[in-house]
Structure 1
Amino acid sequence: MITYDKLFIGGTWTEPSSPDLFDILSPHDESLVGRAAQARPADVDRAVAVARAAFDEGTWPNTPPAERIAVLRRLNVLREARAEQIAAVITAENGSAGWFTRAGQPSLTRQANAYLKAAEDLAWEETLAPTDPAATVRSVVRREAIGVVAAVIPWNSPFSASLAKIIPALLAGNTVILKVSPENSLSTGLLADLLAECGLPAGTISVLPADRETSEHLVSHPDVDKIAFTGSTGAGRRIASIAGQQLKRVSLELGGKSAAIVLPDADLAKFTAGLAFSCLLNNGEACIAQTRILAPRRRYEEVVAAVKQVVESLKVGDPQDPDTFIGPMIRRDQQQRVRDYIEIGIKEGARLVTGGPQVPVGLEQGYYVTPTVFADVDNAMRIAQEEIFGPVLVVIAYEDEDDAVRIANDSEYGLSGGVWSADEQHALAIARRVRTGTVTINGAPIGFDGPFGGFKASGLGREYGFAGLNTYLEYKTVTI
């Protein structure tokens, strides 16, 4: 069992304001995995105070960019050396299948490298040539840190979500308070250990596991200059309202209900080979999961049968078993939420192709859900419009390509999506018409050099690469 009985505040493990520890239970069998201290508002106040002092009076914001890059590159190296341990802890506390947590480790390296390259290529200060040859004034444009950043992440992918925020924020010269979910206290405790080793100045970063009330105290704090949030759209709206009242900078990566458009010429074998990774990754607890499958009317039953076959072939069970593809939901309330949505789908009149609200046989202990597929789904149904965040797929028929694009765009969300076609250029033309921040073609993985984020209710701002780094910078113009 792992225990973290202190809080990581300003780069130092510190006694918490409350001695009570939070029990982290295995989503697989409900055994005790670890215990950890949780931050209260008083701990937030301490973390913000040291971050404020480190930004206003410390060295980090004025450290040359090359030196900041070297420190964050060291963090990347330290993390790579402990990749297996990190993956194992996330599997234990989250229930994410081992294949997923292990496969995600190289992705973290690519994500970090994209930020590091963006920082190396950025013109941190440049003199603009005047557009008027007769001008007597020249402009110097500087890119500077915003200040104290509150980075708030969800539980489903703790390392990826954490690093997507703290690496660019720190590269830009900000100081950071990372607020994580209580369930992720163990993996983010490991992250704090790495941050203590990489060479950051005192006060630069804190890592605080805490509940929602404490999180609101953090984002509302008057000494926080920017909020970077990943989570539900409902929570994002609340945070946006706080940011609006206080005129804080804010970026939001929110929910999704993404569509996979299977065009009439798609190779169904290739689609089914990639379906599980595009639609059911991380037990379905992924904002980018393409959980609406749009199939042409004339191939509809063929697609439904193929989806059924794939879903039924996936092993559900102990996330530490190397053969398991889908593990449990993270908590009992999340398990019940997903099962409730399956009941809603049945009541709405959708055809239950496979799965259902019953718990998988032999997996009554833990927080398991039977992977479920619905057919004959109308896009207006709740199971097609609301983010379920579990292993539930809906297959929707369309008449022609215009109808497919209309259905894909008929959603309050716009985070991700996919197009499957034998003609790559034609797929690209369809992708251009889909109103989402990211579209993959034929199951391609999301890259880290390009921007990532959402349209509509899927958020504000972008992460990854130059766009993600730019989110943590202010522009200053000096005229001479």
Structure 2
Amino acid sequence: MLTHELLFVGGRWTAPDSDETIEVVSPATETPIGRVPLGSATDLDRAVTAARTAFDSGPWPALPPAERAEAVARLAAAIRARADEFADILTGEVGTPRKLSPFVQVGIARGVFDAYARFAADYPWSKTRKGARGATVRVRQVPVGVVAAIVPWNTPLFVSALKLAPALVAGATVVLKPPVETPLHSFLLAEAAMEAGIPEGVLSIVPSGAEGGEHLVRHPGVDKVSFTGSTAVGRRIGELCGNDVRRCTLELGGKSAAILLDDVDLTPAVVGQLVGGAMTNSGQVCTSLSRLLVPRERYDEVVGALAEAVGALRVGDPYDQATDLGPLVTERQRARVEGYLAAGRDEGARLVVGGGRPKDLDRGWYVEPTLFADVDPKMVIAREEIFGPVLTVTPYEGEQDAVDLANDSDYGLAGAVWTADPARGEAVATRIRTGVVAVNSSAPLDMCAPFGGFKRSGIGRESGPEGISAYTEFQTIVLPAG
């Protein structure tokens, strides 16, 4: 049982404003595994004040980018030194299998900090050009100010890194709000930040619920909101930020499609990637490739191969090295996924594998990995983000039909194309209206490239050097001619 009594506010451990706490429950055993303070509006106010002071009066925004990058590199090193501890905690609170957590939960987060420490060296912080009337024009990118970073429960350390690393390199100060479902890792992150020498006031970490999140979004001391989560909550945050003319980045939901072209070589490795693209972290991934589009002439072959692979997945104790899929994060999330399973059956999709709770697990919020075939693109399970271990298969007639089906979605976050001809795959990828598309891979996100969505999948981009721009403002200085 991990118990924390203090909050990390302004770079110091401080007593919370109230005695309210968050009880963290294991999704595998349904028993408490931790308790932390629930940050109140007063706690969040103190955090914003500390961030405001550090930005307005402290040295952090004025430091050379190289010095800020060194601090981010030290934070990456501190996370690396505690990688096993992070992996254990995140397996416990999220339910990600322990054999995957070192990469899925920790390794890619550490890699983001490392990457931004490198990006800072070559980033064009200032450019000089000739103006229209012979003047010299200097265009600078300056830190945006105080950032409220609100992260989800599924990959919380990784998403925190996507916000913290570019914000810190840019010279912003940050109030990070971890989710109430999975807050335990964030206390370890605070310890790593202290070890890295992040200056006082630059970073606060305050777990809080939906009310706390809205308080942060409305706070007059916040210059920028960066949110990752559901489209419904993102819409609300966008409304609030629009009303106050406050900058925001929104990385929201997805309903991503993987297209198998007719020439694909359906090897066991390819089948494994197709299943992993939909099932990793029990499908609780925003880029989950949960819609598979298959040429009709190869439909039975593909469905048969997928059925065998999905049926072979082992569901169980996430700390067991043989486990492929752990539980869903909360009982509420399992009930939501089960509602979609019922909707799929009711609408006439063919249930090939799974569709219920594992019969040999009487505790934990588990759902069987599920494969639906003969899925009409108008069905609910083909249109709404399920966020569970559910893969749907839909046949198509010709390449254009496949592209049309992939684009027939309210979302536009990710996608994939599988083919024996990578050049053909790239040509098809250019016709897909999503922020990222992978060719012959089920891992569309690359930390060296921008990530974000079209349509209802969000506004703005994270990751890659381009992600720094989200935490800067452009300032133009027009100098005298000559």
TM-score interval (norm. to shorter): over 0.9
Matched residue type, 1:95:
G
Aligned to 1:261: 259
Counterparts of 1:109 and 1:22, CA distance in 2 = 26
How far 1:280 sits from its partner (Å)? 1.0
SS at match of 1:54: helix
SS at match of 2:181: helix
Do the aligned partners of 1:374 and 1:395 also contact (CA within 8 Å) in 2?
Answer: yes
Counterparts of 2:377 and 2:113, CA distance in 1 = 38
SS at match of 1:368: coil
SS at match of 1:182: coil
Unaligned residue ranges in structure 1 (runs of 5+): none
Matched residue type, 2:149:
A
- Report the identity percentage: 46
How far 1:338 sits from its partner (Å)? 0.5
Aligned to 2:122: 121
| Map 1:47-62 → 2, pairs under 5 A | 47-62=47-62
Counterparts of 2:473 and 2:297, CA distance in 1 = 53
Matched residue type, 2:140:
R
Counterparts of 1:144 and 1:220, CA distance in 2 = 23
Aligned to 1:471: 470
Aligned to 1:387: 385
Unaligned residue ranges in structure 2 (runs of 5+): none
Do the aligned partners of 2:69 and 2:118 also contact (CA within 8 Å) in 1?
Answer: no
Aligned to 1:85: 85
CA deviation digits over 1:102-132, x for unaligned, max 9? 12333233322332222110122232234x6
Distance 1:91 1:377, change over 3 A: same
Counterparts of 2:420 and 2:275, CA distance in 1 = 19
| Map 1:162-311 → 2, pairs under 5 A | 162-269=160-267, 270-311=269-310
How far 1:444 sits from its partner (Å)? 5.5
How far 1:277 sits from its partner (Å)? 2.4
Aligned to 2:414: 416
Counterparts of 2:390 and 2:278, CA distance in 1 = 9
Counterparts of 1:211 and 1:108, CA distance in 2 = 23
Do the aligned partners of 2:253 and 2:413 also contact (CA within 8 Å) in 1?
Answer: yes
What TM-score comes out, normalization by structure 1 length? 0.97
Do the aligned partners of 2:435 and 2:451 also contact (CA within 8 Å) in 1?
Answer: yes
Aligned to 1:425: 423
Matched residue type, 1:6:
L
Aligned to 1:2: 2
SS at match of 1:280: helix
Counterparts of 1:409 and 1:100, CA distance in 2 = 31
Do the aligned partners of 1:260 and 1:419 also contact (CA within 8 Å) in 2?
Answer: yes
Aligned to 2:320: 321
Matched residue type, 1:422:
A
Counterparts of 1:19 and 1:244, CA distance in 2 = 34
Counterparts of 1:233 and 1:111, CA distance in 2 = 24
What TM-score comes out, normalization by structure 2 length? 0.97
How far 1:20 sits from its partner (Å)? 2.5
| Map 1:68-83 → 2, pairs under 5 A | 68-83=68-83
Aligned to 2:355: 356
Aligned to 1:332: 331
Residue of structure 1 aligned with 2:151, choices 150, 153, 159: 153
Do the aligned partners of 2:436 and 2:451 also contact (CA within 8 Å) in 1?
Answer: yes
How far 1:442 sits from its partner (Å)? 1.1
Counterparts of 1:431 and 1:345, CA distance in 2 = 28
Do the aligned partners of 1:97 and 1:283 also contact (CA within 8 Å) in 2?
Answer: no
Matched residue type, 1:102:
P
Counterparts of 1:148 and 1:106, CA distance in 2 = 27
SS at match of 1:184: coil
Counterparts of 2:144 and 2:99, CA distance in 1 = 38
How far 1:457 sits from its partner (Å)? 0.4
How far 1:44 sits from its partner (Å)? 0.9
Counterparts of 2:183 and 2:242, CA distance in 1 = 30
CA deviation digits over 1:197-246, x for unaligned, max 9? 21122111110111101110111111110000000001100000011000
Aligned to 1:22: 22
Do the aligned partners of 1:114 and 1:464 also contact (CA within 8 Å) in 2?
Answer: no
Do the aligned partners of 1:59 and 1:201 also contact (CA within 8 Å) in 2?
Answer: no
Aligned to 1:343: 342
Counterparts of 2:296 and 2:139, CA distance in 1 = 55
Do the aligned partners of 2:76 and 2:111 also contact (CA within 8 Å) in 1?
Answer: no
SS at match of 2:54: helix
Matched residue type, 1:147:
G
